[in-house]
């Protein structure tokens, strides 16, 4: 088995174009070169902890949302068959061209590409997993029709969870921490029976509360990799201490361009999957080493 992370670096001419979240709306201009270095630091931290990064360079500066690869699609492993790659159906116009870039890579990797076919579904940004249960979120950017259309591809136990702004994705409302069998949850942005569903399935003791103010500082958007939470430096100190008290390491990453300004943290920058290596191909041209060398060359020139 391999822990696969699909990622996409900011383009050399990356800029804020959509300005579609509460941080990017009024942010100052970004430094694209600095953003590429931030991205590389995260990618190398993932590989240092045993992950395998497959990276896709954006074909155009216009696709400014591509670095936030949680929305590139979602890989679903299957027994004795190639994994599925469920394409996204994005809400914002500046991101709707991304899936046409990711589909050829998914096919080159041997994945079976499928399309939910209706509604808005923003892929892994609205998917979370813990203890064999998959949470499928809607009510932010993903709508109910899109969630239900995607849900048919997910085997096993699923729970539909409704959220509200400022949690525009489920990964702003909930962060599973599999290493310690816990979940950070912002109850304030859960709608209707969502909290009761989580308590019934997981037990209240496993649900660790964070506030709406804390999720605006990306409390739930760190990236757990094994025993380490790769967290943006914005993460509130209380939340970092809480995670550390459970027995996890918290490593803060400087994401001034990608997170503080553009509004997407370390969890937003990856689409991850655990798959059997025999069922996937890993194109050499998309390995991290090639893109890392290019980014380092830019810095020295």
pLDDT of residue 298: 83
Report the CATH number that the domain containing residue 66 is assigned in CATH: 3.75.10.10
Helix (H) or strand (E) holding 147: helix 144-151
Q: How confident is the model at residue 301 (pLDDT cuts 50, 70, 90)?
A: low
Q: How many domains is the chain built from?
A: 1
The secondary structure of 231-299, three-state, reads EECCCCHHHHHHHHHCCCEEEEECCHHHHHHCCCCHHHHCEEEEECHHHCCCCHHHEHHHHHHHHHHHH
pLDDT of residue 166: 94
pLDDT tens, 55-107? Answer: 999 999 999 999 999 999 999 999 889 999 999 999 999 999 999 999 999 99
Is 80 exceeded by the pLDDT of residue 299?
Answer: no
Neighbours of 133 (CB within 10 A): 15
pLDDT tens, 146-203? Answer: 999 999 999 999 999 999 999 999 999 999 999 999 999 999 999 999 999 999 999 9
Is 80 exceeded by the pLDDT of residue 31?
Answer: yes
Q: Which residues contact 75 (CB under 8 A, 6 or more apart)?
A: 4, 6, 83, 84, 85, 86, 111, 271, 273, 275
pLDDT of residue 29: 81
pLDDT of residue 129: 98
| pTM strictly above 0.85 | yes
pLDDT, the chain, mean: 94
What average pLDDT score do residues 26-42 get? 89
Is 90 exceeded by the pLDDT of residue 42?
Answer: yes
Is 90 exceeded by the pLDDT of residue 18?
Answer: no
What average pLDDT score do residues 251-260 get? 94
pLDDT of residue 264: 87
The range of the structural domain enclosing residue 7 comes to: 2-300
pLDDT of residue 21: 67
Is 80 exceeded by the pLDDT of residue 35?
Answer: yes
Range picked from 10-14, 90-94, 240-244 for highest mean pLDDT:
240-244
CB 188 within 8 A of CB 195: no
CB 174 within 8 A of CB 128: yes
């Amino acid at each position: 088995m391999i822990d696969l992370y699909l990622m996409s670096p900011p383009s050399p001419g990356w800029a804020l174009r959509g300005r579609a979240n509460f941080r990017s709306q009024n942010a100052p201009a970004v430094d694209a070169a600095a953003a590429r270095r931030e991205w590389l630091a995260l990618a190398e931290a993932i590989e240092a902890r045993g992950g395998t990064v497959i990276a896709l360079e954006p074909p155009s500066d216009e696709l400014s949302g591509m670095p936030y690869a949680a929305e590139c699609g979602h890989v679903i492993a299957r027994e004795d068959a190639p994994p599925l790659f469920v394409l996204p159906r994005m809400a914002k116009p500046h991101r709707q061209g991304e899936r046409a870039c990711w589909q050829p890579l998914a096919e080159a990797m041997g994945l079976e590409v499928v399309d939910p076919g209706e509604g808005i579904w923003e892929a892994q940004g609205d998917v979370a997993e813990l203890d064999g249960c998959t949470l499928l979120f809607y009510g932010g950017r993903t709508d109910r029709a899109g969630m239900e259309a995607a849900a048919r591809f997910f085997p096993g136990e699923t729970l539909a969870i409704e959220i509200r702004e400022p949690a525009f994705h489920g990964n702003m409302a909930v962060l599973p921490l599999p290493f310690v069998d816990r979940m950070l949850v912002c109850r304030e942005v859960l709608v209707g029976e969502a909290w009761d569903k989580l308590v019934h399935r997981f037990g209240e003791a496993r649900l660790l509360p964070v506030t709406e103010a804390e999720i605006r500082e990306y409390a739930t958007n760190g990236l757990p990799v094994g025993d380490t939470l790769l967290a943006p430096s914005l993460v509130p100190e209380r939340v970092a201490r809480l995670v550390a008290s459970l027995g996890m390491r918290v490593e803060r990453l400087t994401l001034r361009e990608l997170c503080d300004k553009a509004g997407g943290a370390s969890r937003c920058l990856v689409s991850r999957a655990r798959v059997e290596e025999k069922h996937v191909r890993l194109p050499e041209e998309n390995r991290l080493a090639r893109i890392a060398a290019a980014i380092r060359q830019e810095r020295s020139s």
